[in-house]
Structure 1
């Protein structure tokens, strides 16, 4: 009977189990949500009832309830609308510490029939924790005997966040003695040290106060700081030195207690107590590390005394200090990095073979770069490996066979934009947690001559003064070619052409390698004002590419031409009856320069002998016209032979001069006027004998009449033949005119441009004359017709006797 009762109870339990299995299977699905930490109360998480396929009206009757594996008050469900919301403050750092993944696992249970749903809520990290230093200050003792470039480890900051929010950067306040040295220690952390840049002298400075600031990578970024109090010790000793700055150790998470982790090795060059070393943990080592590891103070052996858990902590960073027994004690630091290894699985293995490097930048798409093989010693899901590439590279992986891949070109290459690529192939297995391995392929891009040398601008302008020394450096041209090696080696050459009757290469040359342009001979502004040519830049590629630049060399004028006197004069004899202000002769000169260098002025150096009684001389010369006129009425006391010395000077720096001697003969009224004007070399000639006055009268009348008729004919012909505005063009048909000075400036027709340039100073005067001594007389008459006022003034100053001759 007892057996039957027990059998009936077992059958009842088995029947109940069969009834509950369908309900359990129907609710075994899993829903995932995500919520940021520190979310406010009532923050929406998800429509849990809708996502689980439950009707809102069933939530209360079916006893909908929420169970949590941990703190159950963080999340709550509104039974009226089926929404999962934040019920209380969620602190990710308190919940999961520094774990990369942090989730809340919820169980949703409903009855009638019984169903259980699994809900996972991921808690996302926000940048809510600033970097924190241990303590508000760090004291560092440094001997004044420490050498420059010595390093002194300092304690860094800790950030309770993860990822980018915990990526710290450090800055040090400005100092002449120290700089901050930051060394990355794998992916775990950064090692900080102060590097001595300038020798310390305790008598000069005994303490230094610096500020170390740490900033995280969050947005907005948070920061923390610590004061570094550096005390300079006035002791000549040696600090302990570790054999290596970082000790790296890998331990399985199943390593037994008492296992030797590593042995620290440090030495001190001092003797006796100053050389005895005591090992200890750094002051910033957390209490949790001291519960897992122990260090022997005399031997430096680091021993495991606690339990390792890979899922809880994957690595440990232990600061170790070695202090000698000197007075004051000297210390040194090192770091022990313990990486905890997971067990019972194998990471995938990658092998890169058959590299085809470098790759030409014009390689066609689909070009095979490398062959990659993958192997995983595990089996089943743990041995199933998937491969991927680093993003943003012009390559892709093509599966050629099981666990074999080809790395092929997927987009066009441009070496000038990216000369090389670091391609990282990642293999990840299907284990839980998955393990991965990486292989790096450094792909160099070979250059192709696809860029021509380019100048910064298509045209350059250079100013060079004339009379330069042969071989003078004018300028340097530079063309940039973004290609590499031979394809970027630029050579320069002239684009040959003719400059007048001569080749361009007789004037200038360009250095093939440096692009320096030289003038091969002195340049003459009067011969060549502008030298315009092209320089070609060619690279050494195959085929070569090139470009041209235009160079304009303006030759600036120098005052290198003295005034030149022209033959001829106005009148020969001067009647004694002339009054003051009458023009009796004219000195004419030209200057081959231009501008101020060709602006001439006239000065009387040796006036004629003054009349008795100390009166002033009877003649003067116009400052800019060169006209010799009377200053007063002539009288019997004036010498019959007047010898005038006229100085002609330009306005250059320094000024150049020439002199002319003018001989005037004073005659009684009724005789023909006669004067002679000679160049400086004829200034000492003897006066010519006077001829018969009637002969001079006849010659003068015939000459003046012929000149007047010829002038009128040429003027009428030019006015009828030349179109309006081409009066100056008539002067351009002959030999280029030189420069004549006047009171208001100078008019010139340059030999190259054949245009008139007028410049002057002072108030306008009526004695302005422009002439071209090499042109026909008719052209002078034409120019005189353009200045009737000047001609009328001149004719008004002629004596009555001269008027009678005309």
Structure 2
């Protein structure tokens, strides 16, 4: 019959690092006692431990209920569906506990989430399942025929049963006597065992060997070497000769130690030696039955009890019951990492084990109950600094000297998105030349993320800080995965010197984290702009005006200054000035850097007083670009002296230019008329119509008058007839000018004088120029 006794020892709180675990870690322990009979059938129900422990049956699986024990695991198991504790296999009390008075089977019921450990003690009750067994069957006893009646004979050396001789023996009448000895136990129903007792009647040997002690007790350390003497038994026989010669032997032994040959006995000396190594953890004591037999066949018995003393020869064993790996790096303090169980096969202090963690780590070891410990977190973890831990558990017993064992568990720390992408710099500067090829990569920017996996996968984006008036996408594109920035168009340094771009790096974590940096893209100037003349303006032509140089000017006097600018910058905008067409000797000099034109020496009457100089402005680019302008310099003391000379010069220049133009036109007309005349003559001869009229003598005109009626028959439409042309040919051979002009062609005086200088003349000068410019040419 089984019964239940539940002793509440209370729930105790184990607090390690009180500021971390005061709200988390509490571990309860209790003890449950059951009593069952041995030899119960497999899968027999012992009890419902869920009800006894007050647990919710529905939560047994989630709390991972386990039955743990060094021995009990092969005898017991629990069903998580109903909470029943079952017999896994038949339990034989004699096999499990031997001859011990009380046989207890101890195990631990372990629950997780939260952690609780309960001790379960099961007492195995004996049933009458073993019949009495005689160690020797049959028993053979030799008795001298002269043995007197009433003599007690002890077959196995114990106080009972006693075989008593009731009447004298007569060897000559009956030599052997055979008796059946029956043994009954006190069970219900009782069991019995029988043995044959054979008594052989011998001649007189009236003294039995006698041991000095009926019970020998010795203590032997388990690490004693093999073939060591553990005890010596001694028996004395008062007979002489053969009847007094004693031999020793094992007659019986408890258990199977003798069968295994653990001990040997010297038949002559009675020395008992170890035949193999002893192990306290396997057998704690041995009971040896020794008999002494004299030469006459008389036998006496004694017992030798060998107690094996425990030595600290077993290191503690560490078992990992549960392990949670990996755990997030942001796990709260007190998170359960592992549940471990310790066991030492030694006994007493040799089997008591202390446990600790080696090294400095954010973990702590919390004692649960009995031999269970929990490893929990004690503080924050950072995967980026330490991605995994090798937690070494050190278990040390209390033996002398103590023995230790170690077990290392590897704990992986899983990543959480707690690090934003990081740029190496808070700002970057890049340079790109203007007129670059569209589509070319111009810069690569990179950010790193200390996290891993998707938390470290970075995408890039850009936005502008200074391009409000134009779309960023029209200037740049970005590879969102690599961070490479491409130019969408060619840059022009002149309107935009630089672009300020904000680059954002975002990771793929949940929630996403990001960081920014600034990329300043500076456009490098190329020499793609020629110098632009501001003064004198190149748009008004080479004869736009003139500069008056005082006749009495000293050498080095400032005449004028050529002013130019360049839209480029830096070296490309450094300008230099120089003359490219200058008379010899040079009357003027120009400063290479400022463009200032100065007199070179004092002017004289014989010197040329009207100068045209061509100034080239050149930048410093590679290759360099340039612009030119013509500056007219007139040497005179006042403006009245300048106008006649200046007008004559202009008239001469214009006349010469016009004569050349008119000469070309006249030659073209003459050639055309000649071709027409030849065609008319050829046509006239071919058609043989009426003859050509005879023309008069050569008149003052270059060609004779032609009858319009005749010409109208052959005109090709090139010239519209009749027309008259006035041709002027130079009469002097020294003159090569040929002028073809309309009659009364007038040249405005305003074309000869710069509008800006019109205030310097007077009306009489203008009238004079108008009169001189009216030229009539006729034939």
| TM > 0.5 fold call | no
Which structure would you say has the larger Rg? 2
The TM-score normalised by the length of structure 2 is 0.40
The TM-score normalised by the length of structure 1 is 0.39
